[in-house]
Structure 1
Amino acid sequence: MNILMIGSECTPFIKSGGLADVLGSLPHALREQGDDVRVVLPKYEEMDDEWKEQLTLLDTMSVELGWRNQYAGIEYIEYKGIPVYFIDNEYYFKRSNLYGYDDEAERFVFFNRAVMEMISRLDWRPDILHCHDWQTGLIPVFLHTHYHDHPLYQGMKTIFTIHNLKYQGIFDDSVLYDLMGLDEHMMNVDGLEYFGDVNFMKGALNFADTITTVSETYANEIQTPYYGENLDEVLRKHANRLVGIVNGIDTQDFNPVNDQALAFPYRSALTKKQQNKMWLQNELGLPIREDVPMIGIVSRLVEQKGFDLIGRVLNELLHEEDIQVVVLGTGEYHYEQLFMWAQEQHPSKMSANITFSDSLSRQVYAASDMFLMPSRFEPCGIGQMIALRYITAPIVRETGGLVDTVIPFVEETGEGNGFTFAHYNAHDMLFTIRRALECYHDQDVWKQLVKNIVKTQFSWKRSAQEYQKVYETTFM
């Protein structure tokens, strides 16, 4: 099948979050199954010059945006066999950040409309338009409105993937008339209307042929009021075309056998993993102890990730347990200060690294014995899968993709690959951490857990096979 992936970011070109990893990996896995997959992105100023210099200009066009006609360039590169198109417009995308501007609605209405116009300029016709997150939510809407009667677009199908329901693209209703060229018929429950505003994601949910999200559990959760972000009623209405597919990770990139960031590459030998721990202890100024359990946290420091739970018990945990905790990430100021304060209070047990470094993140994954991820909600999660790849036992809350990837370890049966707790409660989390520490100090029990972790696989091949089924069903 011919599949056009449409998104706002993609590795290795531009990244701010997990969406970029999906767009950077899934097309390659689908290509291995015989699909002709291509990607289209905005051409951002933040892209490295090494990529910009390799782009070829294919065409230029004028894009209708309400009463405006805006320039758009179509630029192109082939990356590892995947054709990647870039929509160029310096007014909208030559800026210092990817997101967060006052004219965000206009920027992404333009991008959606430009993608639809680009399709008519290519010598290739997609069967499926696979749209990712709110920034591409108008593609299904436009296909059913402005392009409904155009012969070229007849028979094209749309799939919309929710990566995080919290971010929906909600704007003043003037956008509908001023930018989209649509009328009041779209201001209803079956269109884009959302408490008097317009909602890009709601439009996609109402008009896409199939809706997917990034784990089976999250697909069920978002149909409830607690997780539904005021769209649960819409999602329940379309439940028959909502599918959850867990993301994969790039197992070649995340591979402790040949990871260049690691001081001591390893496959499954715990002795080599312990050497990485002692190396990192030395680098971070922690006491060099092979026997002490290390808990790693690599994350955005935001409320969604469960840091209010950690804040309630962190001092108790550090005061009472013989452990080391290594944190890497940036985010909300009060969480950054929490970890800096904990480091001051417990310098031999806590290392707070308020920054982001890809190489240091890999070193933390490799050095840690356990990986803490107590999310309030988690559509899929990548940290727990990377941790398992580096033979680090995840400690997670049972939500979203964490449920679908971390199997609770049971000492009596020897089954499971991590530790989980159900309720969003700080002391439930603390109890689970202490249970993990008890297992760590029982050598036979921990070795069994490690054997289970080594067998865990999260390659994109499995996820791509599930998407292939969705494409075939959608196109029937």
Structure 2
Amino acid sequence: MNGKKILFVSSELVPYLPENEVSLMSYEAPRMVNASGGQIRIFMPRYGNINERRHQLHEVIRLSGMNLVINDLDMPLIIKVASIPKERIQVYFIDNEEYFKRKATFTDEDGNLFADNDERAIFFAKGVVETVKKLNWSPDIIHVHGWMASLLPLYLRKYYADEPIFADSKIVTSIYGRGFEGELDPNMKNKIAFDGIDADSITTLEKASYNNLLKVAVDYSDAVIFASEDIPEELTAYVDKLQIPALPYVSIQEFEEAYTQFYTTEVLK
């Protein structure tokens, strides 16, 4: 991976959130690329349950200050950064008081999905792209992890289709078995359509379930990685029909060689 630029965009990441399949692989994959001479950038949401003092997050004034329009509302974008000391890896956090201040990730104390998770996902996708544009950093690969990041491929290919900085970027989506029960706001499709994204691109989101969010992600991806042993059959069948490169599940103990080969021979070919 020497010299290759890879943008990792994730819903969750250790050590900032508890360890699970998504948060652990979202750490291990960039660590591997970084160790093998690649250039990386990592983005995740700045949820309110991340301890800013312990992890030494600080705002980057030159990247903050922009407003993103979400469903006709101006929402201020705040960018924070922190470093994972032992790996010398920097992480960028997408923040907004309205969307990410609450002391939880996706659900309230009763386990109910937050009503604005759809808007949070839109904000996160647009916030990542706008920040990468400000950094003037053109990635060879954009690797998406976790459902909160699942709108990024759609926005890159539709809303930001004419951005030259991403013209040659390849998008990889990792599919995990760990999702959510229920559905996001029924108006999610309309909120995306507000951004000028045509309705035909997002008919799947009439029902904003976990599986359907991931279907939209892979629709606009160049390749897929099955990152869990147990993936919903509906999703594996959907990927098979698309006939795009797909890496079968590889355990975290053995992923390095498999991911490196997949990046170089299937994604960047």
TM range (shorter): 0.7 to 0.9
SS at match of 2:28: helix
CA distance in 2, matches of 1:17, 1:38: 21
Partner of 2:207 in structure 1? 197
Partner of 1:62 in structure 2? 67
Change (3 A) 1:176 1:16: farther
Contact map agreement 1:56 1:77 (CA 8 A) in 2: no
Partner of 1:21 in structure 2? 24
Give the counterpart of 1:143 among 141, 156, 160: 156
2:103 aligned with 1:99: no
Give the counterpart of 1:242 among 246, 256, 268: 246
Give the counterpart of 2:201 among 169, 173, 186: 186
SS at match of 1:159: strand
How far does the alpha carbon of each residue in 1:424-473 deviate from its partner, in whole angstroms, 9 at most, with x for none?
A: xxxxxxxxxxxxxxxxxxxxxxxxxxxxxxxxxx2xxx412221222222
CA distance in 1, matches of 2:99, 2:175: 24
Change (3 A) 1:463 1:240: same
Partner of 2:97 in structure 1? 90
Partner of 1:10 in structure 2? 13
Q: What is the root-mean-square deviation in Å for CA atoms of aligned residues? A: 2.3
- Match runs of 1:57-456 below 5 Å: 57=60, 58-60=62-64, 61-79=66-84, 80-100=87-107, 101-164=114-177, 166-167=179-180, 170-179=183-192, 181=195, 182-188=197-203, 193=204, 196-198=206-208, 199-214=212-227, 218=229, 222=231, 227-228=232-233, 230-248=234-252
Q: Tell me, which stretches of 5 or more residues in structure 1 are unaligned?
A: 249-457
CA distance in 2, matches of 1:465, 1:162: 19
CA distance in 2, matches of 1:172, 1:88: 21
SS at match of 2:127: helix
Give the CA deviation at 1:52: 5.2
Larger of the two Rg values belongs to structure? 1
Give the CA deviation at 1:120: 0.6
Give the counterpart of 1:44 among 44, 47, 72: 47
Contact map agreement 1:169 1:200 (CA 8 A) in 2: no
Change (3 A) 1:83 1:49: closer
Letter in 2 for 1:120: K
Identity across matched positions, percent: 24
Q: How many residues align?
A: 250
Q: Tell me, which stretches of 5 or more residues in structure 2 are unaligned?
A: 108-113
SS at match of 1:125: coil
Change (3 A) 1:470 1:203: same
Change (3 A) 1:55 1:141: same
Contact map agreement 2:157 2:220 (CA 8 A) in 1: yes
Give the CA deviation at 1:53: 3.6
Give the CA deviation at 1:18: 2.5
CA distance in 2, matches of 1:212, 1:133: 12
